[in-house]
Each structure stands twice: as C-alpha cells, then as structure tokens.
Amino acid sequence: MEKTSKIYVAGHRGMVGSAIWRALESKGYTNLLGQTSKDLDLRNQQAVLDFISKEKPDVIIDAAARVGGILANNDYPFQFIMENMQIQNNLIDAAHKLDVKKFIFLGSSCIYPKFAPQPLKEEYLLTDSLEPTNEWYAIAKITGVKACQAIRKQFGKDFVSLMPTNLYGTHDNFDLKTSHVLPAMIRKFHEAKENGNTPVTLWGSGTPMREFLFVDDMAEGVVFALENTLPEYLYNVGTGIDITIKELAETIQEKVGHTGEIIWDSSKPDGTPRKLMDVSKMNNVGWKHKVDLEEGIELTYNWFLANQNDFKEVKL
C-alpha cells in the first residue's frame, strides 16, 4: 500500500474511525478521506454510489455503524438491524461495483452464538443462536461479513472482515442511555465520587466475563490488515484475556477514586455469560495488542476528565 493511496474511512468521527485516522496519519498516510453524516448519509444507496464514483478511493475502511449497549439494542431493534445493513451494504456494493482495490469491514464479537465454546473461534460463526439482547445488531454485522466473503469467493477481491472484541478508549460514548459497559462505569463512578462517594448501582450480577481492547490497538490491527494481504476472510481482533464485570467495576472504581458502595441489580439482564475471543489467527499473521486494561482505563478516564464538558446526550 502506497502512502499516497486514497483511503476512505467511513465513520471517521466515531471512536473507532477517529482512532484509525490517527493511526494512519502516524504511519505517514497522506491521502485520507472522511465525510460527516451531515455531508453523506451512508443509509442512502445512491448518495454512497455517487460519492465513491466521484472520489475513487483505493481503499474503504468501514468503521461506520449504529452502536450501543444492551439497553439501546433492546429498545431500538429496528434501527439497529436496518440502519446497520443499509450502511454496510451500500458501502460494500459501491466498492464492488466501482472496483475499489481493498475493503476492510469491521464487525463485533456479538456475531458469534451466545453459548459458543470459549474462546470464540472464527469457525463458530452461524453454528447456533445469538444473544437475544443484541441479535439485531449481530445479524446486520453477519450479513456484512458474508457479503464480503461472497465477493472474495466469487470475484477474488481483497475484502476482509475484522471482528473486534469490546472496544473502549478515548472519544468513547459516555451517554448513560446508549453507552457500553466500560465507559458507562467510568461516568457512573466519577459522578458518584463527585457527589460525595454515593453508592453506584450496576446492572446484573457482575459474574459475566468480558474481554476489552483499547481502541488504538484496534486501529493498529486495521492498519496491519491494510498493509498486508490476509489469507482468510474473517479475523478476530482482541487481547485473548477476559475478566468478570465485577472485577472490571472494581478496577474502574479504583482508577476513578470512588470509595462508595457498589450495588448489583440482579433484576437486570447479564447478557452473554462469557465472550472471549480466540485471537490466534491474527496473532499468527503478525498482529498483537499492546495496551493492557489498567493502562487503557487510565488513558480513557483522563480523556473523559479533559472532555466531560463537551459530552452531549445521544438521541436515538
């Protein structure tokens, strides 16, 4: 890949997209292309086709998606399945029709069955039923993986899918109604500390196990996929290390400096009991994560402190 190759990062303003943009710039890529949702509605097929036809990127990295935690997925199932399918299908179809050289599709570990053996291997895809609380998003992402695989199989094009584990980091979403578990905990513990170390109530039992990847490590994985021709269509991207939600909460509580009580509301859903990625395929081709969880939480909390006045509530 030439440093002057035109690379379109769809979703470049989001947490993942902005991390990819920073990683590409740091590696010396000088011809990056981004469009805000105001300038380009990725749900509009003709608008996407016209944009790709006009700009003629060499590479498309699809980091655009409607995302959220258990609550958002549960409350807005139609938006989560329909808008994600529209976004990715429009980009994949335009890339194929207009002969874009390389396409990198980003998904999520939720594509794997709820009770799949642990750690999750790529070949477990479509072997059993999904976690009901986020199946809408998962089904959309599975169709993206399969569309890229189909193009790869039928036309021999370099379309590859990367499935990250739970991502967190700078530029995360800290809206308590729509955020994922780690940034939501950071905000809850911080606000409780500011209010005199009041108790913090968290969903579920605290027993599920989760794996977390710092977003800058994910971005490095994307750059690795950009600079190398990967031999398979699907790769897990993660740390291969997981902890319980209770351990996560206690780690964040310590980093934030909250000294109050943690209350677990077991009437709320836990979600999938465990979700650990087998990252051996990605490790074997040459990529491995660098940032451990404690360091990543510190970096994320420091960014939260520096930017908390800028946060706006996300409306769905």
Binding-site sequence positions: 11-17, 106-109, 141, 164-167, 180, 188, 203, 210, 270
Q: Which residues contact 193 (CB under 8 A, 6 or more apart)?
A: 256, 257, 258, 259, 260
Distance (Å, whole) CA 83 – CA 95: 18
Q: Which pair of tokens denotes residue 192?
A: 């409780």
| Residues in binding site for substrate | 188, 203, 210, 270
Between the alpha carbon of residue 159 and those of residues 17, 27, 59, 200, the distances in Å are: 18, 22, 10, 44
How far is Cα 107 from Cα 277, in angstroms, rounded to an integer? 13
Phi, psi for 116 (deg, rounded to 5): -65, 150
- CB-CB neighbours of 127 under 10 Å: 12
| CB 117, CB 128: distance < 8 Å | no
Interaxial angle between packed helices 293-307 and 245-256, expressed in degrees from 0 to 180 and rounded to the nearest 10: 50
Is residue 137 part of the annotated active site? The answer reads: yes
Residue in 137, 168, 233, 235 annotated catalytic: 137
Catalytic sites, residue numbers? 137
